[in-house]
Amino acid sequence: MKELNLPGTQSTPTVTGNWDAGLLSISGDSYPENSFEMFGDIIAWVEGYLADSDHPLRVDLRIVYMNTSSVRAMLDIFDLLEEAHQQGRDVTVNWYYDPRNERVVSLADEFKEDCSFTFNIAPEKAA
């Protein structure tokens, strides 16, 4: 498994994992009935990528709403990143938000709390 491509639906975000670029993007709301299925694929991709080489990994997030099981899965992903970072891996998370929705900032801050890797929370530049 090299590339990850999950097209977004109303209740699931668009997910792309670009192995060669070392870039994982998750965009959109996330409230699927079965988050473990969808996030299982993402977690497997991250684990696979981290185990395969020592190249850096960047994760770009554009998420507004998440249900509880999605939050839990996201914490799992951050745990993986933290573990890799502790072992000297170059890991970055960029959490982009719509400047009209400042509420997302404090939420992203909560996620960031226990992470020692680079975790940027930045307003999305106008397209």
Report the interface residues with other proteins, using CB under 8 A: 65-68, 71-72, 75, 103, 106-107, 110-111, 113-114
Using the minimum distance from each CB to other proteins, give the nearer residue, 63 or 91.
63
Q: Output 46 or 73, the one with its CB closest to other proteins.
A: 73
Instruction: Residue 20: count other Cβ atoms within 10 Å of its Cβ.
Output: 8
Minimum CB separation of residue 71 from other proteins in Å reads: 5
At closest approach, how far in Å is the CB of 55 from other proteins?
A: 28
Nearer to other proteins, 29 or 90 (CB): 29
CA atoms of 78 and 75, how far apart (whole Å)? 5
125: nearest Cα among 96, 95, 101, 103: 96
Q: Which is nearer to other proteins, 75 or 122 (CB)?
A: 75
Shortest Cβ distance from residue 72 to other proteins (Å)?
A: 6
CA dihedral (31, 62, 97, 10) positive or negative: negative
Shortest approach of other proteins to residue 49 CB, angstroms?
23
Backbone angles phi, psi at 114, to 5 degrees: -95, 10
CA distance linking residue 118 with residue 126, whole number of Å = 23
